[in-house]
Amino acid sequence: MYLVKGGFYILQIMENHYVCPHCRGQLKVGEYIIFRIRNASRDKGLLLLHPEIGNYSSMKHPQFEFREGDRVDFFCPICFQSLGATIDENLVHVIMIDSKQKEHKIYFSRIAGERSTYQVSDEGVRETGEHSYRYTHFKLSDNLIQYLNT
């Protein structure tokens, strides 16, 4: 909400959208991005992640468990394809579309408890999270970033 002179409020839609790189289905509903996940015991469940990059709050059913350090499998809840990044088996890949309709590749760790997120755009890479130093694929020069595959 933005306050406009004169006392009127307008709701400005500045939201980012998140889509599946396979089916382009919208992954964000309300305040969360929805993923179908599978834990180390191969139990399936749903995980909701906060859409703000660097905000690691998440929601899941309390009976669906995974432990710190587990590698959780992420799938698109619409087309069921794996969202595992091909560049690193520990990373998940989705596409973020910003309010200017510009696309960014988002990568984040699928190791439970690990905070590493990378936003890859034409302009370069933005790293977020205390463990982002662990993945070095993104230390390329900006010229090379455009050749980075999913």
Instruction: By CB under 5 A, name the binding residues for Zn ion.
Output: 20, 22-23, 25, 76, 78-79
Nearer to Zn ion, 104 or 129 (CB): 104
Nearer to Zn ion, 85 or 125 (CB): 85
Nearer to Zn ion, 93 or 104 (CB): 93
Tell the smallest beta-carbon distance from residue 144 to Zn ion (Å): 28
Tell the smallest beta-carbon distance from residue 42 to Zn ion (Å): 20
Tell the smallest beta-carbon distance from residue 78 to Zn ion (Å): 5
Report the 3 state secondary structure along the chain.
Answer: CEEECCCEEECCCCCCEEECCCCCCECEECCEEEEEEECCCCCEEEEEECCCCCCCCEECCCCCCCCCCCECEEECCCCCCECECCCCCCEEEEEEECCCCCEEEEEEECECCCCCEEEEECCEEEEECCCHHHCCCCCCCHHHHCCCCC
